[in-house]
Structure 1
Amino acid sequence: MRLVTTVAALLLAVPAIASDEFTPALEAYMNDEIMNWANAPEIVAAIKAQNDAHAGLTQTQIEEMDQAWRGTVATPQNDPIAPVLENPVADALRARIDASMGAMTEIFIMDEHGLNVAASDVTSDMWQGDEAKFQDTYGKGAGSVHISGVELDESTQRYQGQISVTIVDPETGSPIGAITVGVDAESLL
């Protein structure tokens, strides 16, 4: 518990410095623990299926979907959240978190619009397309990575950094979506 208090105090006192100090550890975690499964066939298939289902969505429709999500966060068993949490890919994401022994706090994948496809847990919103985790990955193409600073995450209530990477179609090499993995800062110490 003392370590938790110390880490929290450091992060609150000097968040920019603490974030910079965690970046190499987050990069190492990404390379060692995430990149070997981020483009798994089931993840690629789920993103491609949602991209097909959402072809032609307007920005207004995306924002309406996001508002509907935000309105039901307290009751995640309802639409539109349930389909994102209750599918085989979401089950696989939760299994990855369980296998990480506390290092991973959340995982969610996004389609080409930045809309959630599958998630280990409820996210605060459905549309990630207006956030750096999506814009700096899918928006910049194959091989792009976004590593956030370490901060208290409102969804997980833990100090975490987020690692986001572009997901590509293995047949074409074209970006099709992105994945974000929350990593507990304490697990990196």
Structure 2
Amino acid sequence: MISKSGVALAGMLAATMFALPHAAFAKAELPGDPNALITDELIQDIREWLANPVVSLSITSQNNLRKDMTQDQIDAADQQWRAEREAEDQPLVAAILTNPLSSYLTQIQARSGGLFAEIFVMDSVGLNVGQSSITSDFWQGDEAKFQNTFPNGPDAVFIDEAEYNEGSDSWRTQLNMTMSNSDRQPIGAVTVEVNLNELARRRGL
């Protein structure tokens, strides 16, 4: 015969075993408002490494190359990119991922120590020029990251809503800014995906 204390103990053990998986997979908490976490200082730091000539030269070169593209051609390039993501032959994807700008952005992301999850630069129509990793699409011109920056002048900054990334168990946000030339004329845009949990950790929050 099992005593009442034994039944109680068994119940406690069962409850603990049931709770453990939930505790183990509890997701990270959002550390705060992205607009508060991303300070002017961080934005300035990002602008400094974006000032490398490879960035503006790459954007300008692609703008000159693609300035006469129609929307149908842009859509076709975007469809080609999406198709190549699932294919063995990837001429367009490979051309972008192996160019000097992509190499530079990959180095910046690696040196960030987990702060930057993704970086990509767009031209004046929203097509990718360079990126630190492969994106789901090639054309960003119909998305807020481009529409809230490039058309709004050289100083435009748009911080998107935070999103939870299950793979890294972290909250991320996209910091988007207009890219300009030496005459402060907009030439493109940039998106930097920031790991908010890592940013907060570095600030001791």
TM over 0.5, shorter chain: yes
Distance 1:185-1:26 versus aligned 2 partners, 3 A rule: same
Q: Does 1:31 align with 2:43?
A: yes
2:84 alignment partner, one of 72, 85, 88: 72
- Kept in 2: contact 1:70–1:124 (CA 8 A): yes
Matched with 1:187 is 198
Matched with 1:88 is 100
Identity %: 34
Matched with 2:72 is 60
Gaps of 5+ in 1: 12-17
Matched with 1:143 is 155
Offset, 1:159: 3.1
Count of aligned residue pairs for this structure pair = 178
Alignment of 1:144-159 (within 5 A): 144-152=156-164, 159=171
- Once the two structures are overlaid, the 10-residue window that deviates more, 46-55 or 75-84, is 75-84
- Kept in 1: contact 2:34–2:159 (CA 8 A): no
2:60 alignment partner, one of 48, 51, 55: 48
Between the aligned partners of 2:139 and 2:24, the Cα distance in structure 1 is 35
- Kept in 2: contact 1:163–1:180 (CA 8 A): yes
Offset, 1:75: 4.3
TM-score, normalization by structure 1: 0.84
Between the aligned partners of 2:117 and 2:149, the Cα distance in structure 1 is 20
Code of the residue aligned with 2:141 in structure 1: it is G
Matched with 2:184 is 173
1:114 alignment partner, one of 126, 147, 153: 126
- Kept in 2: contact 1:39–1:167 (CA 8 A): no
Higher alpha-carbon Rg: 2
Between the aligned partners of 1:51 and 1:38, the Cα distance in structure 2 is 17
Between the aligned partners of 2:135 and 2:74, the Cα distance in structure 1 is 16
Code of the residue aligned with 2:136 in structure 1: it is S
Between the aligned partners of 1:84 and 1:141, the Cα distance in structure 2 is 26
